Amino acid sequence: DQQVKQNSPSLSVQEGRISILNCDYTNSMFDYFLWYKKYPAEGPTFLISISSIKDKNEDGRFTVFLNKSAKHLSLHIVPSQPGDSAVYFCAATLGGSNYKLTFGKGTLLTVNP
Amino acid sequence: DGGITQSPKYLFRKEGQNVTLSCEQNLNHDAMYWYRQDPGQGLRLIYYSQIVNDFQKGDIAEGYSVSREKKESFPLTVTSAQKNPTAFYLCASSIGLINTEAFFGQGTRLTVV
């Protein structure tokens, strides 16, 4: 059973517009959520995170929203740029002394010039 | 420069042979992880270690073995018991504190022929 789900395998947007990537989770014990960006044949790079005690975290063009009651988080990229084209992974941890990340399957974002 | 180094980047092995993937970090991180990426599967956790001389099975540990004799090193052995070893393997590390991100290496593409 998949505890972190990214139901959209791909998303295509125009340059300058907003990209919204979604993620749902089933384990209510998840305490910390992260987004990673990955290019082919490279390791993922950390983008932004949010603690379960918050509902929003912003870093430049990237904003993550958390809706705990719906067990849903989203990553907003504004404005989108062609260099943002990559696979985006949502991940979650249980917190406490358990540091392991549980990942979703990823969403391929394509930003068209 | 601090970081995580995986070697080699590409590895070819004959079926039935064991192979060991190297992962070294100089970030002074306590926790280290091995993930496997397959097309459409996202990142799946193989093994993780939160401290030297201790490690735990992840979600897909069968056919793999690890050791953590030094803080800096977390090698992964893909044994002949692993039925589908061809994949992209990613090593990561984190400080090991609550609510911190993991940093990834560049990955090793293992192809078994």
d(CA A96, CA B16): 40
Q: How confident is the model at residue A2 (pLDDT cuts 50, 70, 90)?
A: confident
Name chain A contacts of B99, Cβ cutoff 8 Å: 31-32, 49, 51, 93, 95
Q: Which amino acid is at B113?
A: V
Burial class (CB in 10 A: 0-12, 13-18, 19+), B53: exposed
pLDDT, tens digit (0-9, with 9 covering 90-100), for B24-44: 999 999 999 999 999 878 899
pLDDT at A78 over 90: yes
Contact call for A42 and B107, based on CB within 8 A: yes
Contact call for A99 and B96, based on CB within 8 A: yes
Closest CA–CA distance from residue A111 to any residue of chain B (Å) = 20
Query: What are the residues of chain A with a beta carbon less than 8 Å away from any beta carbon of chain B?
Result: 6, 9, 31-32, 34, 36, 41-46, 49, 51, 89, 91, 93, 95-97, 99-106
**Between A89 and A98, the higher pLDDT residue:** A89
Residue A97, SS3? coil
d(CA A102, CA B43): 8
Closest CA–CA distance from residue B14 to any residue of chain A (Å) = 22
Quickly list DSSP for B25-44: E-S--SEEEEEEEETTTEEE
Percent of chain B with pLDDT over 70: 96
- Among A9-13, B70-74, B95-99, where is mean pLDDT lowest? B95-99
d(CA B106, CA A42): 5
In this structure, chain B runs to a length of 113
pLDDT at B98 over 70: no
Q: Which of A34, A43, A99 is closest, CB to CB, to B31? A: A99
Percent of chain B with pLDDT over 90: 78
pLDDT confidence of residue A88: 97
pLDDT at B61 over 90: yes
Mutate one of A66, A101, A105 to test the B interface: name it (highest B CB count within 10 A).
A101
Closest CA–CA distance from residue A14 to any residue of chain B (Å) = 24
Inter-chain contacts counted by CB atoms under 8 A, chains A and B: 67
